[in-house]
Amino acid sequence: MIDVVVPTVGRPSVGVLLRSLTRELPAASTVVVVDDRPAGTGPAVPVPDDPRVRVVLGGGRGPAAARNAGWRATAAPWVAFVDDDVDLPTGWVRGLEVDLAAAAADVGAVQGRIDVPLPAGRRPTDWERNVAGLAGAPWITADLAVRRTALEAVGGFDERFPRAYREDTDLALRLLDAGWTLRRGTRRCRHPVRPAPWWVSIPAQRGNGDDVLLARRHGRSWRRRLGVAPGAFRWHAATTALAGAAVAAGLAGRGRLATASGLAWAASTARFAWGRVAPGPRTRREVGAMVATSALIPPAAVWWRARGTVRWRGVGRA
């Protein structure tokens, strides 16, 4: 009834995950591990000595392509996609079986519930709060079971999404467009907060380009359809425009306008930084990281949105 696909980039956690799966999966199930690293870039994935587990090479084309390679190498009526950085508790497989048995014929996908453990005794950092957002995120592939006929009907994941961002949202929207329904199950898994550098929020702005592709494919109402909270891009665009106005006015010798624009930019940046500092631990390291990255996030977001607008200008509705 169930096969499992695990795309991986070689995280150490994948070995623990695979051992958890093989302890509970039925004998007829298959686990396909898609090694999505470019060839020769790391040691072999530590797979258990179990005939149900096999490795497929993804070639480093991103999680959407890796998941496609994985589900096309399986045969069960349901394919459970599980990320390589989640922890599956004892009983997860049984919970998955219960969720799928309860799925009506028109249900195309059943999402598990994600728990993100946060540190006790202190406020979470900005990065920890971002990861904690997965607990309420709709239709993410950290733990998502999809009916094979539904995957075949929509052609699987759109491989133009190169990162672990929005490829699952796009799949959910296309399933809905094809007449399938989506539901949440009762099974749960844990998604620990993995270590990340202090500047992690800067490269994360590349997702603004992926948002352009999503809007081209599904229209501007995609957030409302899935219950996704509005993004902060408009604020970032306004802040970046103030910085540009200050520079332009300064070069043109318009000192008062340059000063006014610069002060407005500083106020907007300070407000953004405080919004990230206030709920956090407020350590010297965290405050410094928030101040530095808050100045860089708006222009990075605008840059990636502009690149996405140019790159995906010819894409039409799905």
Confidence of residue 111 (pLDDT cuts 50, 70, 90): very high
Burial 23-46 (b: 16+ CB within 10 A, else e): eebeeebbbbbbbbbeeeeeeebe
Residue 166 is given by DSSP the state S
Q: What is the mean pLDDT of residues 166-186?
A: 96
Do 142 and 256 share a domain, yes or no? no
Do 180 and 39 share a domain, yes or no? yes
CA atoms 143, 148, 154, 160: torsion sign: positive
Do 235 and 154 share a domain, yes or no? no
Whether residue 40 has pLDDT greater than 70: no
Do 32 and 177 share a domain, yes or no? yes
Q: What is the CATH number of the domain that holds 192?
A: 3.90.550.10
Instruction: Give the predicted TM-score (pTM) of the model.
Output: 0.93
Contact between 11 and 87 under an 8 Å Cβ cutoff? The reply is: no
3-state class (DSSP) for residue 91: coil
Do 180 and 317 share a domain, yes or no? no
Q: What is the mean pLDDT of residues 53-77?
A: 95
Cα(232)–Cα(272) distance, integer angstroms? 10
What's the token pair of residue 38? 């470019």
Do 191 and 263 share a domain, yes or no? no
Contact between 172 and 84 under an 8 Å Cβ cutoff? The reply is: no
Say which residues have a Cβ less than 8 Å from residue 130's Cβ, sequence separation at least 6.
Answer: 201, 204
Do 116 and 214 share a domain, yes or no? no
The last residue of a domain, from among 169, 196, 223? 196
Query: Residue 208 belongs to what H/E stretch?
Result: helix 207-218
- Measured in degrees and rounded to the nearest 5, phi and psi for residue 7 equal -75, 140
Confidence at residue 231, expressed as pLDDT on a 0 to 100 scale: 86
Region label for 109, one of left (φ > 0), alpha (ψ between -120 and 50) or beta (otherwise): beta
Confidence at residue 118, expressed as pLDDT on a 0 to 100 scale: 96
Do 11 and 152 share a domain, yes or no? yes
Confidence of residue 175 (pLDDT cuts 50, 70, 90): very high
Q: How far is CA 228 from the centre of its chain?
A: 13
Contact between 273 and 291 under an 8 Å Cβ cutoff? The reply is: yes
Domain span at residue 225 reads 200-318
Over residues 257-297, the pLDDT tens digits come to 999 999 999 999 999 999 999 999 999 999 999 999 999 99
Dihedral (Cα; 15, 20, 22, 26), 10-degree rounding: -150
Contact between 83 and 54 under an 8 Å Cβ cutoff? The reply is: no
Q: Which of 26-30, 117-121, 198-202, 229-233 has the lowest mean pLDDT?
A: 229-233
